[in-house]
Amino acid sequence: MVKSKKIKLVGARPVLVAHRGYSGRYPENTLLAYKAAREQGALYMELDLQMTSDRVPVLHHDQSLLRMAGVDIDVRDVKAKYFKTLKASYKTRFKDQFADNSFTTFKKLCKWLKHNPELTIFVEIKQESIDRFGISEFIDAVYRRILQSNVESQCVIISFNHESLEYTRRVSPMRIGWVLPEWSERNRQLAVESGPDFLFCDKDYLPGSDEEIWRGSWQWAVYNLDDVDSAIEMANRDIGFLETNEIGTLMSDRVLVDKGET
C-alpha cells in the first residue's frame, strides 16, 4: 500500500464530484451508484446521457451495452422498454455482486433528484446520441424532462460538443459546462468568447505550470482524482471542483472535507 504523503491543503477545500456516481464501488451511471455517493456525503455528481431509439434519455456512457449489460447492442437502437429490462451489472468488473441491478432512465434519476434538493448533477450530453438524433432533438428531450421534474436549478448541462452548449444557452437559462477535448489556444479563445459556467478538463491535459491555467469567468473542474494526495495537490492549484470515481475515499478525508459540513 502506498503511504499518504500527508500533503497540506493550502487553500480552500475543493468541491468533490462523484463521477458517474460512486463508480469505483458500484455499477456506474445507475441509481444504485448515486444513492451510494449520497450516503458518502457527496452533494455534486456527474452522469452520462444517451438516447434510445424512441428518444428517451437514459443514463449510459458507451454506445454499446456490452460493457455494462453483456450484450453488444447499440443503446441508440433499442427502445426504452427493452433497455429497462436489462441488468446493469458490469459483470466483467463486479462479477455477480450486482446481478439484479437495473439501468436508470433520466426520468427516474430526476425523480430521485427532486427528493434530494441539496444535490447538483452535471448532466453530460454524449456525442454518439448527438450524431444519431441531432443536437436540438436530444437537448430538447433532456430539457423537457428537467422542466417536468422541476429540477432545473439542480442540473448543469455539460458536453464535449460546444455547439450543444450554445444551443442549450439559446433555449434555456440552464448553467453549462464545456468538457475540453484538448488543451489548445483555439479552445482557450472559444472558452473566453462563450463564457461557460464550468470548464471540465482531464487531469492529464492540465499544464504543469499554474501560470498556464486559463483564467476566466468559469470554474474549473478536473477529472479524475481517485486518491487523497492527488486531490489535495490539484486543489492547491486553485482547482475548485474535483471529479472522482472514489467518492467514499475522498469524502472520508478530514483535510478535504469538514465533517461538520456534511
The structure's pTM equals 0.96
Report helix, strand or coil for 166. helix
191 neighbors 215 (Cβ within 8 angstroms): no
For 54-77, how does the pLDDT look when each residue is reduced to its tens digit (9 = 90+)? 999 999 999 999 999 999 999 999
β pairing state of 241-244 and 120-125: unpaired
For 224-235, how does the pLDDT look when each residue is reduced to its tens digit (9 = 90+)? 999 999 999 999
**Of 232, 241, 231, residue with least CA distance to 197:** 241
DSSP for residue 212: G
Q: Kindly report the average pLDDT of the chain as a whole number.
A: 96
Q: What is the grid cell recorded at 17?
A: 464530484
For 196-244, how does the pLDDT look when each residue is reduced to its tens digit (9 = 90+)? 999 999 999 999 999 999 999 999 999 999 999 999 999 999 999 999 9
Scanning 95-195, the segments in alpha helix (DSSP H) are 106-114, 127-133, 135-149, 162-171, 185-194
pLDDT at 4: 54
Domain boundaries, the chain: 15-60+105-251
**Of 196, 49, 20, residue with least CA distance to 127:** 49
- pLDDT band at residue 5 under the 50/70/90 scheme: low
pLDDT at 2: 47
For 89-109, how does the pLDDT look when each residue is reduced to its tens digit (9 = 90+)? 999 999 999 999 999 999 999
Class of domain 15-60+105-251: alpha beta
Other residues' Cβ atoms within 10 Å of the Cβ of residue 150: 12
For 144-183, how does the pLDDT look when each residue is reduced to its tens digit (9 = 90+)? 999 999 999 999 999 999 999 999 999 999 999 999 999 9
* Long-range contact pairs involving 139-142 (C-beta distance under 8 Å, separation at least 24): 139/164, 139/167, 139/168, 139/171, 140/171, 141/51, 141/55, 141/56, 141/57, 142/49, 142/57, 142/106
